[in-house]
Structure 1
Amino acid sequence: MELIAPTVTDVVAAQRRLAGLVVRTPASSWTALDRAVHRAGAVGASVVVKQENLQHTGAFKVRGALNLLLQLPPAARDAGIVGYSTGNHAQALAYAARHVGAPCTIVMPTDPNPVKERAVRDLGAEVVLHGERLEDACAHAGTLADARGARLVSAADEPDLVAGVATATLELLQQVPDLDVLVVPVGGGSGAAAACVVAAALAPGLEVVAVQAAASPAAHDSWRAGELVARPNRTRAEGLAVGRGFALTQGVLRRHLSDFLLVDDDAITRGQHAYLTAARTVAEGAGAAALSAVLTHPERFAGRRTGVVCSGGNASEAELRRALTCDATAVPA
């Protein structure tokens, strides 16, 4: 079945549907963070952070999950959903399923972020641990959904999910309409595709730049190749730990994305350090990836008003310790 990308009309409808159910998160700036970006080489840049780390469940994904589940027919809700995730998508589905009263099962890789696994269980979902990578969890989730007659919810190939996620970009443009470029982290690509849908319709001069972990470059390489590819999936930033491209999001990115950058895991950790020390903001690895791209590729953003999506704040204790003790010379406070 061909997947049809959402339109900005779908996004506006989603914003109305989600009114009062999601946080209208801040778009924040800090002088110290701008100073760190300037010292990294992005001279004259100013950074605006869309703080989806302050969203319900600590990440942007809940926007998409609620938008999707609120539109499920009653029979589908009663049958329940099965999802697969490294954590934030899992929490979002569990949160949305609890809101609409639907049974929810989440398949996670066998060594998940303990903060995220505990949160999923606390939200009332059944958690099944299976396989080392997201791809293993995905296959097992499909088997469980078939056996139970439940709705399998993809991590990215869901138009209603993308439309819901896109409400974050719609909010940002309402808050800060004069951005030159918007940097969005990519795992499956729902956030970047969502940003492209909104920018293409409402701010055609806005460049949308995606960023992915170099250790898990499937979406980046799919976009560069113009076809879906699988790649090794080794990043420690679990929100970016995806080993293949997704058809729906890649189709949108091919039409509208301005650029796609890679950052290594140590650069992501330095981005987390910059958030902690310059903005007193907790970001998980995936949440810091957009800022890491600005710090790693400063010439791309010099002199530009740059929006970065802090997509999640569900960092484990180990992540925070690593960020606070890392060699942060690339991002001085």
Structure 2
Amino acid sequence: MPDDLLTMDMVNSARQKLRGIIHTTPLDYSALFSRLSGANIYLKLENLQKTGSFKIRGAYNKIAGLSAGERRLGVIAASAGNHAQGVAHAAFRAGIKSVIVMPEGAPLSKIAATQGYGAEVVLYGQGYDDAYGRALEIQRETGAVFIHGFDDPEIMAGQGTIALEIIEQLDGLEAVLVPAGGGGLLAGVAYTVKQLKPGVRVIGVQARGAPAIYLYKKGCGGEEPPAATIADGISVRIPGAMNLEVIKKYVDDMVLVDDDEIAMAILMLLERSKVMAEGAGAAGLAAAIKGLPEIKGLNVAVIISGGNIDVNVLSNIIERGLVESGRRLKIKTILPDRPGNLIKILTLLAELKANIIYINHHRTRPRVPLKQAEVELEMETENKEHLDYIVKSLNKAGYIFEIL
């Protein structure tokens, strides 16, 4: 990509266009995550941005630069969620028509939010790539301007305004962790940071189930299989070609995080910092928590890129997180079907300070022997040590049970 396709004049111009349209989001120091990572962690809270993610920055910057003739034809985009809302809201602010093609499996909450911003939503295909192909077909039929989610210099410039804010908000900035899918955010932030603070390290973070940019940066890129990760905002199989050129030149390193690490970061953000983040939004923090040696002792900005998480996904993450942290125990046991046996085990659990939240008592299931009852119990526990103590105590009392 020629250097003049992305310039600081473009980034500064984007900032001017965005004044009065977006929020300057907080950069919040976290003592907890600083202790866990060994670095000084500052959360750049783009989850508090209008539409719930950074995407409106690039989308509005692109749309604001359209000619009068282009505006009359309207805009079209393909997205699984956040870009859809960014384009829809930006088009609404600009007073032009927008059509968004979303995968058929897109979360209902994101579909409703996109329609709420005034866009026409077309559902097509099983993933982003299918939706992208259909959007291009509609673009050729209607002449509408295609607003790419990441592979566009104006999009990159809009996302680069985040870096301008971070640099102003944090004296002594030494590193930035940036989630990456298609690469628009990473490219825009990396370019801007390196122009203004070349000594600051820029580290991109991808989900292990969608590692295309990581593989490219490591010199082993190629055709990627379908992406599979809970971080749907960065679940991109083929990154932007222009983005990759910028990333190759300006990004210092790429790291991968597992879905379990992302899920734990979401849960910790919610419980400890009262911050709602989606999978993509929590990826950078997941990388920090796992302990990156290259950020130890540094002042690090972690971009929380969005907060539009589906409530069903959030519920599953909370449940799994409680189990993995030793705060939820579910068991199944067989008891003699005689008066007093159920109250006996419940009394023991009460003495062990387990809080019962669910109980199911089966006497007539085919696999349950006559004169016996199958009992399922779910309980709250304090931590792993408390859970282990309860398990040992039940074993000592002679109960035979299965942990579910």
- The TM tier, using the shorter chain, reads over 0.9
CA displacement at 1:228 relative to structure 2:
5.8
The structure with the larger Rg is 2
Tell me, yes or no, if the aligned pair for 1:287 and 1:309 is still in contact at 8 Å. Answer: yes
Q: 2:70 aligns with which of 64, 76, 97?
A: 76
Tell me how large the CA RMSD over aligned residues is. 1.9
Which SS does the other structure have where 1:209 is aligned? strand
Q: Which moved more, 1:235-244 or 1:2-11?
A: 2-11
Q: Which moved more, 1:262-271 or 1:317-326?
A: 317-326
CA displacement at 1:92 relative to structure 2:
0.4
Tell me, yes or no, if the aligned pair for 1:226 and 1:254 is still in contact at 8 Å. Answer: no
Deviations 1:106-141 (A, max 9, x none): 111111122211110111101111111111111111
**Does 2:7 correspond to 1:7?**
yes
Q: Find the counterpart in structure 2 of residue 21 from structure 1.
A: 21
CA displacement at 1:2 relative to structure 2:
7.6
Q: 1:138 aligns with which of 122, 129, 132?
A: 132
CA displacement at 1:227 relative to structure 2:
5.8
Which SS does the other structure have where 1:28 is aligned? strand
Q: Which runs of 5+ in 2 are unaligned?
A: 327-382, 384-404
Q: Find the counterpart in structure 1 of residue 295 from structure 2.
A: 301
**Counterpart of 1:58 in structure 2: which amino acid?**
G
**Counterpart of 1:15 in structure 2: which amino acid?**
R
**Does 2:7 correspond to 1:46?**
no
Tell me, yes or no, if the aligned pair for 2:33 and 2:289 is still in contact at 8 Å. Answer: no
Q: 1:183 aligns with which of 177, 181, 187?
A: 177
Q: Tell me the TM-score normalized by structure 2.
A: 0.77
Q: 1:220 aligns with which of 214, 218, 229?
A: 214
Q: 1:198 aligns with which of 192, 202, 206?
A: 192
**Does 2:236 correspond to 1:242?**
yes
**Counterpart of 1:32 in structure 2: which amino acid?**
L
Alpha-carbon separation, structure 1, partners of 2:205 and 2:293? 15
Alpha-carbon separation, structure 1, partners of 2:277 and 2:68? 36
Which SS does the other structure have where 2:6 is aligned? coil
1:1-333 mapped onto 2 (5 Å cutoff): 5-35=5-35, 37=36, 42-43=37-38, 45-225=39-219, 229-327=223-321, 329=325
CA displacement at 1:226 relative to structure 2:
7.0
**Counterpart of 2:19 in structure 1: which amino acid?**
A
Deviations 1:73-101 (A, max 9, x none): 01101101110011000000000111111
Between Structure 1 and Structure 2, the one with more strand by share is 2
Q: Tell me the TM-score normalized by structure 1.
A: 0.93
**Counterpart of 1:9 in structure 2: which amino acid?**
D
Alpha-carbon separation, structure 1, partners of 2:151 and 2:278? 24
CA displacement at 1:234 relative to structure 2:
1.1
**Counterpart of 1:94 in structure 2: which amino acid?**
A
Q: Which runs of 5+ in 1 are unaligned?
A: none
Alpha-carbon separation, structure 2, partners of 1:200 and 1:93? 28
Which SS does the other structure have where 2:210 is aligned? coil
How many aligned positions are there? 325
Which SS does the other structure have where 1:24 is aligned? coil
Tell me, yes or no, if the aligned pair for 2:213 and 2:221 is still in contact at 8 Å. Answer: no
**Counterpart of 2:282 in structure 1: which amino acid?**
A
CA displacement at 1:4 relative to structure 2:
5.4
Alpha-carbon separation, structure 2, partners of 1:227 and 1:261? 15
Kindly indicate whether structure 1 or structure 2 has the higher relative contact order, using CA contacts under 8 Å at least 6 residues apart.
Answer: 1
Tell me, yes or no, if the aligned pair for 2:101 and 2:123 is still in contact at 8 Å. Answer: yes
Alpha-carbon separation, structure 1, partners of 2:67 and 2:91? 13
Tell me, yes or no, if the aligned pair for 1:3 and 1:248 is still in contact at 8 Å. Answer: no
Alpha-carbon separation, structure 2, partners of 1:298 and 1:316? 29
Which SS does the other structure have where 2:226 is aligned? coil
Q: Which moved more, 1:129-138 or 1:50-59?
A: 129-138
Alpha-carbon separation, structure 1, partners of 2:259 and 2:81? 18
Deviations 1:140-186 (A, max 9, x none): 11001101111112121111111111111110111013121100001
Alpha-carbon separation, structure 2, partners of 1:270 and 1:60? 22
Which SS does the other structure have where 1:191 is aligned? helix
Tell me, yes or no, if the aligned pair for 2:212 and 2:221 is still in contact at 8 Å. Answer: no
Q: Measured at CA, do residues 111 and 206 of structure 1 come closer, stay the same or move farther in structure 2, by a change above 3 Å? A: same
Deviations 1:245-273 (A, max 9, x none): 21111010000100001111111111101
Alpha-carbon separation, structure 1, partners of 2:243 and 2:147? 15
Q: Measured at CA, do residues 91 and 85 of structure 1 come closer, stay the same or move farther in structure 2, by a change above 3 Å? A: same
Alpha-carbon separation, structure 2, partners of 1:238 and 1:192? 16
Tell me, yes or no, if the aligned pair for 1:4 and 1:159 is still in contact at 8 Å. Answer: no
